[in-house]
Amino acid sequence: MTQAENIRAVEALGPDMMGFIFYEKSPRKVVSVPSYLPEKASRVGVFVNHDEEFIMDKVSSYGLTHVQLHGQESPQTCKALREKGLKVMKALSIAGAEDIALSQKYIDCCDLFVFDTKTNSVGGSGRSFDWTLLNLYDGPVPFLLSGGIGKDTELSQVSHPFLAGFDLNSKFETQPGVKDPGMLKETIDKIRKI
């Protein structure tokens, strides 16, 4: 999320969390603090291999409650941020069983996983991975499902005891970092019925 009025409109739909990307190479990166930030939804900062000082600076500037780590961050990094009172979300890029197994390294230091599609870059591919791989995950950390979810995605087909929610991003945009509230409302309503 990058623009104040868009943030306000999306927050009115009642999402649990709203994300702010700080990865320099992302077309969705936020470059300055918007004049409106979510008041009800949790504020999530998305980082890729940033150092702790950079992360904590953004936590302070944006009032972040969660950090989503989307790079090769170690369990020690996750633990250090958690000890600072943050909720830590570790994104894992999934293409096969070995990627699901990697989650075991992070079980003791993360509050939530984000299972996303493995790509040659960092997230944002707009493509889904093989969701049957989720059957290999046996917790105990809950996860968000990410990657290629759009308004026509059959989310009711996804059933898992540790599924905590869905990451709705690029397929709901009118331009990078700006969401279409109408499209989001339709999908959020559908998720609530599930």
Q: Which token pair is 64? A: 């972040």
C-alpha R_g of the chain = 16
- Which residue matches tokens 């190479």? 25
- Do residues 72 and 64 touch, judged by C-beta distance below 8 A? no
DSSP-assigned letter for residue 54: H
Whether omega for the bond prior to residue 15 falls within 30 degrees of 0, making it cis, is no
| Cα angle value 19/152/9 (rounded, 5°) | 40
Rounded to the nearest 10 degrees, how much is the dihedral formed by the CA atoms of 130, 136, 140, 142? Answer: 10
- Domains of the chain with bracketed CATH: 4-193 (3.20.20.70)
pLDDT tens-digit series, residues 99-124: 999 999 999 999 999 999 998 766 55
Percent of the chain with pLDDT strictly greater than 90: 88
Q: Which token pair is 33? A: 């603090």
Identify the band that residue 145 occupies on the pLDDT scale cut at 50, 70 and 90.
very high
pLDDT at 66: 98
- Rounded CA separation 194/189 (Å): 9
Q: First vs last Cα of the chain: how many Å apart?
A: 25
Mean pLDDT score, 90-103:
96
Provide the pairing of β-strand 173-175 with 178-179.
antiparallel
Mean pLDDT score, 163-167:
96
pLDDT tens-digit series, residues 17-64: 999 999 999 999 999 999 999 999 999 999 999 999 999 999 999 999
- Do residues 92 and 69 touch, judged by C-beta distance below 8 A? no
pLDDT tens-digit series, residues 64-87: 999 999 999 999 999 999 999 999
